[in-house]
Chain A
């Protein structure tokens, strides 16, 4: 089955530093990946759509200069939280769409998530 990995699984950093989170589709190609943010006991909020070879599309209210997204290949998207602050602490989840399966949203496969703690 389709597998999506994220690295790291958890990261602790100091306020003001930048953190990069990787999302990889292990056995399929993904022209589209999605980045979500999940606060404790709350739902997933879509942050942005990552498109291979082009600029990411950000949801309303998400700062694109704060959350840099790069989708350089068909199997890798990265999310960089720049100048992280404690309020950026959260659980970040990516999903990847298996383009060969076509269809719609059901072809999204989710990564295990990355827990970020900014001190």
Chain B
């Protein structure tokens, strides 16, 4: 039981490049979330999903897209990366009583 895993752990992009961050969970959870965390700040919700095939916008969705084609996977895409998207990205899935389980994070640097 790996819980929530994220790939890659670290990535450097040039402005305008695209990439996809992968989140996987093996707990059979319906709800999954993508957050970003900037230095000295709390987490901010980007997008979330309440089940396979569904997604919704969070607090800071601009510049990101998501897909939930399989229940266990939640993908976060950056179509044209910008320096403002330099951040640490955390994925989470939600279990009983709204308890969220987080992955180890992906550190993204956009030059």
A pairs with B: no
Which A positions have Cβ atoms within 8 angstroms of B?
A: none
